[in-house]
Structure 1
Amino acid sequence: MNYEQARFNMIEQQIRPWEVLDNQILSLLAVVKREDFVPLAHKALAFVDMEIPLTSDLQKNPGQCMLAPKVEARILQDLAVQKHEKVLEIGTGSGYMAALLAHRGQQVITIEIDSALAETARDNLQKAGIYNAEVRTGDGAAKLAQSVSGSDPLRGPFDVIVLSGSVVEVPPALLSLLKVGGRLSAIVGTEPVMRATLITRVAEDAWRTTQAWDTVAPQLLNFPEPSKFIF
């Protein structure tokens, strides 16, 4: 397989048409080798417009996948990460998004609930020569709850927060971890309707929310859902 040609086709045929036009993002996608973050069994699918499974037991772990390339690229463009910024990612997967974020920012802390995947991500990042991304094994939702209680295991605040998966709603506790001027990206909603949501903390007690595009992604584990009961 000609990986360079496949990478070029991915960028020109999938990502540009999805309104990802930032040349720095497009150049980064050409440099970071996506195929090195894909499980060996699915390497031929590295540049296909689809989610790629990261575990063999999809019934047990349906959310353990790489997001489609155009979704990752659009999130990265929306966030506009700067070189001095500290980033938190929840949902490491194979480490590919962490690698992209690490190229853009100063420091990345990324959390993965599956211990085997977390170890794989560490290996992938090391092989890619990326040393400013720290992979932590744990439940992102639980660590968030601990931060609210005052122990702050996440060592916030952050300039950028990325949820690499979907949530029914963005927990307020996550917003409290943003610096003023910080941005949070999440895919919010339930199937079949989800919106890519970008929340910016514009002041100490004020946030601005935009929802510019639609997509669908597997849910992150253990994040709370609003009650469906109406009294």
Structure 2
Amino acid sequence: MPLLKLEDTYLHKGKRRALVAELRQKGIKDEKVLHAINTLPRHFFFDSALVSHAYEDKAFPIGEGQTISQPYTVAFQSELLDVKPGNKILEIGTGSGYQATILHLLGGEVYTIEYQQKLFEGTKKFLARMGIHDLHLFYGDGSQGLAKYGPYDRILVTAGAPIVPESLIKQLKAGGILVIPVGDRNSQKMLKITKKANGSYNTEEFDSFAFVPLLGKEGWR
């Protein structure tokens, strides 16, 4: 569970500034993304046993076989997503809620869905304790999206998929962007898919990453 006492000290803020400088050095250029990462206390999302590692550029376990993504990965995906204020965003894989909160800070109206029920319930309670009430949280099979509330301007997948789920393409608005890691269970290429007005789409391929698997009907079974 995350820390029971949420304190953001000068030390934490200094570590965040150092992390942002590291991300900038690694190639992240979007100042809005860097500002969001500098604003949000990442250590709030950590188990007390790991909190001293919160500002290392690494992924860490959060239970139920899931992780809180490496800050560089969060920044890279957020930068590719190119969030505009007011965008309706679907996030697949709520996890700790950290990435969803970053998208919220970027001005998105965020709908996020988690496959693991225990993790979903814990994260929902934690975000409420943090005073974050503007996220729309759901439990279910994110590989099939969340059609009831679509279509979406942006869709972000935070788990490795074997293919691009057709359901997600269908739920993307014309001109919308889907960012998704696709590959095998060990390594995936980051894809940015932009949907055209005629329903076709353009795919750009970026670096390799390693995510936990996307589980569900249109993911790994």
The amino acid that maps onto 1:16 is: R
The amino acid that maps onto 1:27 is: H
- Residue 138 of structure 1 deviates from its aligned partner by 1.7
What is the aligned partner in structure 2 of residue 123 from structure 1? 125
Structure 1 runs, 4 residues or longer, greater than 6 Å off: none
What is the aligned partner in structure 1 of residue 6 from structure 2? none
The amino acid that maps onto 1:33 is: P
What is the aligned partner in structure 2 of residue 23 from structure 1? 31
What is the aligned partner in structure 1 of residue 156 from structure 2? 162
- Residue 161 of structure 1 deviates from its aligned partner by 0.5
The one of 47, 52, 57 equivalent to 1:39 is: 47
What is the aligned partner in structure 1 of residue 134 from structure 2? 132
SS at match of 1:132: coil
The one of 10, 14, 20 equivalent to 1:5 is: 14
The one of 170, 192, 198 equivalent to 1:198 is: 192
Q: In 2, Cα distance between the equivalents of 1:193 and 1:96?
A: 22
What is the aligned partner in structure 2 of residue 110 from structure 1? 112
The amino acid that maps onto 2:29 is: L
Q: TM-score, normalised by structure 1?
A: 0.84
1:7-55 superposed Cα distances (whole Å, 9 cap, x missing partner): 1221112x11221111111111111111111222221121112211011
What is the aligned partner in structure 2 of residue 85 from structure 1? 87
What is the aligned partner in structure 2 of residue 95 from structure 1? 97
Q: In 2, Cα distance between the equivalents of 1:204 and 1:38?
A: 44
SS at match of 1:135: strand
What is the aligned partner in structure 2 of residue 229 from structure 1? none
Q: Which runs of 5+ in 2 are unaligned?
A: 1-8
SS at match of 2:204: strand
Q: How many residues are aligned here? A: 211
CA contact (8 A) 1:18 1:74 kept: no
CA contact (8 A) 1:167 1:223 kept: no
What is the aligned partner in structure 2 of residue 188 from structure 1? 182
Q: Which moved more, 1:216-225 or 1:203-212?
A: 216-225
What is the aligned partner in structure 1 of residue 71 from structure 2? 69
Q: In 2, Cα distance between the equivalents of 1:202 and 1:96?
A: 30
- Residue 124 of structure 1 deviates from its aligned partner by 3.2
SS at match of 1:40: coil
The amino acid that maps onto 1:171 is: P
- Residue 192 of structure 1 deviates from its aligned partner by 4.8
Q: TM-score, normalised by structure 2?
A: 0.87
- Residue 93 of structure 1 deviates from its aligned partner by 0.5
> Residues 225 and 125 from structure 1, CA distance in 2 versus in 1: closer, same or farther, beyond 3 angstroms?
closer
- Residue 225 of structure 1 deviates from its aligned partner by 5.9
Q: Which runs of 5+ in 1 are unaligned?
A: 56-60, 227-231
Aligned counterparts, 1:139-154, within 5 A: 139-141=141-143, 143-144=144-145, 152=147, 154=148
CA contact (8 A) 1:36 1:124 kept: no
CA contact (8 A) 1:121 1:135 kept: no
- Residue 82 of structure 1 deviates from its aligned partner by 0.8
The amino acid that maps onto 1:210 is: E
